[in-house]
Amino acid sequence: MKPKIVSVLGARPQFVKAAVLSRIIRLHNQIQEVIVHTGQHYDTQMSAVFFEEMQIPKPDYFLDINGLSHGAMTGQMLEKIEEVLLKEKPQAVVVYGDTNSTLAGALAASKLGIPLAHVEAGLRSFNMNMPEEINRILTDRISDLLLCPTDKALKNLKMEGFDHFTTRVIKTGDIMKNAVRFYSEYAEQNAKVYQELKLPENQFVLVTIHRQENTDNPEKLKAIFSALDSIQDKMPVILPLHPRTKKALANYSINTNVRLIEPVGYFDMLMLLKNCKMVITDSGGLQKEAFFNSKPVIVTRDETEWVELVEHGFAKIVGSDKTKILHAFDHYLSNKLDFDQDLYGHEVGQKIHDEILKLLT
């Protein structure tokens, strides 16, 4: 009988990354995978069509836990995931990233004594005001296998004393790289938004703003949109509008000249990335996806987990400072970058599969 793992997922980016590993698991047929969807980021784009188009296995369990405070959400997830684990009796649990679903899955596995693997381990923003930072630190500390995307992630864990723990720490590279490569050809065939917008190739700026540190601070949000309006005077700006940001713009009476569009699916986002000039974002995942599509990125945060992008000049951290945003925009307009650098590894999904298999035997 094949050993069983339970993968705990809650956000669309986690499903996209997990799909890489799921395909490899099915290819080798050495592991049985049970997928739990907590419902943390449930929306219309997480419908059955999403799983079909993305070739992602449909979840075996849907917990439908969302729209709650951090404590209530994590607590309910912990309770429900524990019930699943007691029923399924897996040999290991796999979690991804830094969401409340990640932490709840990690706690449930740890308290039941089930070996735990954390994909995207070791990342740090060093900002303890971020819920994600707390989630990733706690998850790393109770994991049995830490699968790290970068050398910096390894260094972070070393500084925290993991050399003295029994935890296995492995550098695998970044699984998102596999996902972007795999889905690029499907995006070409299935994406529609880029064509519908009739945008000039390589002559528009793609923007996403959604983090609470920006949306919940009117001064920051106003400064960011003031900068975007100035950029709009030079080049079209396209912003798929997150519901939280939409609400904040209305609450703070912020008007903007940039082109606001409805949130887009993964294929459409890949096509927008492929054809834009540069990216402005406060998203962590989009920073790397920009790099994988050879686009520079301006980060509207005060820190980033992906420091290697900054160190190599592919990203600039500007916070909500209008002057810095505009300076970074002008810099990337006039400077060509060499994206032919291997920052995130190769055959990442296969490496993760092999390390999890070792955990099971």
Q: 357 or 45, which is more confident?
A: 357
Q: Does pTM surpass 0.75? A: yes
- From edge to edge, which strands make up the β-sheet containing 116-119? 61-62, 32-37, 4-9, 92-96, 116-119, 145-148, 168-171
The pLDDT of residue 322? 98
Q: Say which CATH architecture domain 184-334 belongs to.
A: 3-Layer(aba) Sandwich (3.40)
CATH 3.40.50.2000 region(s) of the chain?
Answer: 4-174+345-360, 184-334
For residue range 40-88, list pLDDT tens digits in order: 876 655 556 678 878 888 899 999 998 899 999 999 999 999 999 999 9
90-94, 296-300, 336-340: range with lowest mean pLDDT: 336-340
Give 95's strand partners.
8, 118
The pLDDT of residue 167? 97
Average pLDDT over residues 241-265: 94
Tell me if the domain spanning 4-174+345-360 has CATH number 3.40.50.2000.
yes
The pLDDT of residue 45? 56
Q: Which long-range contacts (CB under 8 A, 24 or more apart) does 101-104 make?
A: 101/8, 101/9, 101/10, 101/11, 101/14, 101/38, 101/40, 101/77, 102/8, 102/10, 102/14, 102/135, 102/136, 102/139, 103/74, 103/134, 103/135, 103/138, 103/139, 104/8, 104/38, 104/74, 104/77, 104/78
Average pLDDT over residues 207-235: 96
Q: Which residues contact 267 (CB under 8 A, 6 or more apart)?
A: 53, 183, 186, 187, 190, 191
Average pLDDT over residues 204-213: 95
The pLDDT of residue 160? 98
% of the chain beyond a pLDDT of 90: 86
Average pLDDT score, the chain: 94
For residue range 280-302, list pLDDT tens digits in order: 999 988 999 999 999 999 999 99
% of the chain beyond a pLDDT of 70: 98
Let me know if 210 is a catalytic residue: yes
| Contact by Cβ (8 Å): 309, 234 | no
Catalytic residue among 37, 210, 312, 346: 210
| Contact by Cβ (8 Å): 109, 116 | yes
Average pLDDT over residues 200-226: 95
The pLDDT of residue 301? 96
